Amino acid sequence: MSPVVSIILPAYRAEATLARAVTSVRAQTFQDWEVIIASDDGVDYLAGLGESDPRIRQVFTGGCGSGDGPARNAALAAAQGAFLACLDADDAFAPRRLETLLPLADAHGAAVDNTAVHDEQGRFYKQPFPTVSAPFPLTAEDILSPRIPLFPLFRRELAGPGWTDVAFCADVLFNLELLTRAETFHAHPDGLYLYHKTNGSMTHSADTAARAERGYLDILQRLEDGRIALAHPVREAAYREFQDNLRGNRVFARYMAEGRCRTLEEFLDMTDNAKSPELKADSP
C-alpha cells in the first residue's frame, strides 16, 4: 500500500547532517510516510544511515551538484504518496509537523508552517511570521517578502511538472506555483520546520552576491517570457519583488566589499530584509 506522505529529501555533500534529518522523520507522531533521498553527488546515503528501514529509499540524479530543483524532481518521480513534503538534508522536522500540517493540506491543497530559523550554533533566532497565532491563507507577498524558506506539504496532483531548474530560489518559485494551483495555501503559526543555517550555504558563501546576481536576472527573464506558470497577480508580485531583490543584492555586494557585513544573512538582518529606508538611498 502506498504511504500517505512522501518526503522529498535532496542530498549533496550531506554526510554530516542527513542522519539528523532522517531521525526527525522517524520521530514523527504521524508514521505513514516514506522518505525519498535524492543523491546529487553519487554518494550512497542509505549505507551511511545504518539500520535499514523499508520506508527510506534512494534515487540518484546522475549528476553532481546539479541543484535542488533537479534533485527534488528525481525524488518526485519515485514518490508514491498522496501528499508530498519537502525536507532539506541539513534541516529537521519537529515531531508533530506531519500530524499538524496534513489536515491543512487536505482541506486547502497546500500548507506550510512558520519556519523556525536556527543559526550555525543551533540557536533559534527568527521566523517569517513572528506575530501570528492561528492558521492563515498565504499571499504572494507572504511567500516573497520574509526572505526565509517555506517548506510545503501539499497534495500530489499540485506538483505539476515539479521544480523549475534554476540555480537560485527554486523553492520560492515552486511555492508561488503552488499558490496558483491550490484552492488556498495555508500557513500554520507553529515553527515545525527547523531550518539550520550552515557555513558554506548560499547565504553564507563568499560568492553569494555574484551567484544571486545571475540568479535574479535569470528569474526575471523567465517571468518576462512567461516560462513560470503563475497567475497574473502572482507573477506581477514576483516580478516586483525580484527586481527589488536584484537592486538590494547590488548594495549587498558593495557592503561586502566595504567590510560592512560578512554574509547575506547578516546583510538582510541589518537592513530589514533589504527594505530599510536607509538602504534605498544606497541603491544604484
Mean pLDDT value across residues 8-29: 96
Per-domain boundaries in the chain: 5-196, 202-282
**Beta strands, E only, the chain:** 5-11, 33-39, 56-60, 83-86, 92-93, 109-112, 116-118, 124-126, 136-137, 153-155, 184-187, 193-196
- Say how far residue 40 (Cα) sits from the centre of its chain: 17
The answer to whether the beta carbons of residues 5 and 81 sit under 8 Å apart is yes
CATH T-level topology, domain 5-196:
Spore Coat Polysaccharide Biosynthesis Protein SpsA; Chain A (3.90.550)
Over residues 118-135, the pLDDT tens digits come to 988 899 999 999 999 999
Over residues 150-194, the pLDDT tens digits come to 999 999 999 999 999 998 899 999 999 999 999 999 999 999 999
Over residues 60-88, the pLDDT tens digits come to 999 999 999 999 999 999 999 999 999 99
How does strand 153-155 pair with strand 83-86?
antiparallel
Looking at the DSSP assignment, which residues form a beta bridge with residue 11? 39
Q: What is the identity of the amino acid at 208?
A: T
- The dihedral sign for the CA sequence 31, 58, 193, 196: positive
Place of cell 549528476: 63
Q: What is the identity of the amino acid at 77?
A: A
Counting Cβ atoms within 10 Å, is residue 101 exposed (0-12), middle (13-18) or buried (19+)?
A: buried
What pLDDT is attached to residue 44? 95
Q: Which three cell numbers stand for residue 126?
A: 527568527
